[in-house]
Every structure is written in C-alpha cells, then in structure tokens.
Amino acid sequence: MNRHVSTEQLSAYLDAELGYSEIRQIENHCAACKECGARLDDMQRVVSGLGRLERSVPPPALRQQIRQQVAVQPPAPSLERAYNSVRLLFFPIRPALRTAAAMGLALTVGIFIVHHEAEGLPPTPRPGEEVVTVELGAQIGQLLTTSEVADRQFIWTDDGWIQKGLEGQTPVARMDAGSPQGRALLTRYSDLKLLLEDGYPVVLRYDLETVEIRNLPPNRIIGFEPQPVPRRARHIHGSIVAA
C-alpha cells in the first residue's frame, strides 16, 4: 500500500467494519508509515477519551428554581395586552354584552361541528348507482436475496451479486476470473466461485478498493460440431487396408 490511508478507512478500522485481510493491510501500513500511524493513534485517543466521558447531571435544585422564577416573573406586556383583549371580547363587563358574546360563541361552535360532521359522512348514492369502497391492503416489501460467502454478505441485484455496503458504488477495476489478477483473488477467496457459477458478476471489496470479477464465457459457434476425417484406403500386397 503506497498511498496514505484515508480517514474513512481508519474510522472503519476502529469500528471493526473491515475484514481480516484489510485489517492486516492497514496495521502493516500504519506500522511502516509514521504519518498514518500518528493519525491512527490520535483517533484511538479521541475514541478512548469519548468513551470515558460521563454525562453531566444538573443539580437537583435547578428544576425547582426554574419553576419558582416562572411563577414569580410577570407576563410580557404584549402577552398581557393580548390576554386582556381576548378576555374582554368573550367576557365583557356588561351583563348584556356578556350574554350575547356567549350565545355567539356557542352558535359558532355548533356551526363548526355540524359542518365537519357533514364532511365526514359518506356521499349518498343516487337511485340506480352503487357505491363500491376499495381498501388497499398493506404492500408487501420486496425481500432481498442474500448469500454469505467468504465471511461476507452479498446481496442479489439485477446486475449480479454485490457485497453489502457497496450498493451504488462504481467498481474501480473489472477483472476476468481467468486472468492472473482474477486467479489471485479466487485463491484468497475460493468460495466466490460458488457465486460465479451462475454466470453473473460479483462486486466486492478487495485490497481496500471496489472491484468486479466475472466469468467470461468461452467463444463457441452455435450448431458447429467437428466432423470425423474420412480414412483413406491403401493397397498392401494386393489387399485393401484402411489407413
């Protein structure tokens, strides 16, 4: 590994989200690279420090003190004026105005209730019409087809098998299973041959990169079969022998 390890890779290493081979590569690289090793030590100290932090607890008397301040503090002038306006509107000082306001409020509430009840009722069908109510059932979620191979979980898609967590990523390299790189990959993860037997490509994480491996079908001519070569006859001592 010539290039430096990214922060995302170090974070995945600390969260134990990498495979055994990837963990060894990062550890070997950080042991040889002082810059990456220092970054890894700093991130480990930060994670360790966050784990030792304790959640601060407010003092017991704080809640009681806040309640006392709210109860003692007078309302804001704007809120007080709004409260007085509403109180005078619905509860006037004069008895006659007070009664009229109460009747108007009751009438408004009654109209509102009747209007909403009428909206909630189903429409009355006309003569000769039939009202059919269709209720859609719960939609059945699409079930994912998964397979665990080489200590990794793969998800089946329309494009083939993809390692879980790599959905939507574009492979940086594509290789044939019969190429030297493909044979090296299958030597390390021999169980991937089970997925390649279906003829679909497999996308996985390999050497800290997203790669695709597939089986290329052999070139064949449909309907062509080799014909046997006719044997020629030769004469030996007056007799005919098939060559």
Model confidence pLDDT, tens digit, residues 119-132: 666 666 565 555 55
Which pLDDT band, with edges at 50, 70 and 90, does 243 fall under? very low
User: Do residues 147 and 156 make contact, with C-beta atoms less than 8 angstroms apart?
Assistant: yes
Domain region containing 158: 146-214
For residue 112, being part of any structural domain is answered with yes
Q: How confident is the model at residue 212 (pLDDT cuts 50, 70, 90)?
A: very high
Is the entire prediction scored with pTM above 0.75? no
Closest by CA to 89, choosing from 76, 102, 106, is 102
Token pair 């420090």 is found at 49
Claim to verify: residue 156 and residue 111 sit in the same structural domain: no
Report the number of distinct structural domains present in the chain. Answer: 3
Least-confidence region, from 51-55, 183-187, 230-234: 230-234
Whether the per-residue pLDDT at 204 is higher than 80: the answer is: yes
What pLDDT is recorded for position 184?
A: 87
Query: C-alpha angle with apex 10: 38 to 20, nearest 5 degrees?
Result: 115
Q: Are residues 163 and 115 in the same domain?
A: no
In a domain, 98, yes or no: yes
Is a pLDDT exceeding 70 seen at residue 14? yes
- Tell me how far the alpha carbon of residue 111 is from its chain's centroid: 50
Query: Which residue in the block uniquely carries the two structure tokens 């060559």?
Result: 243
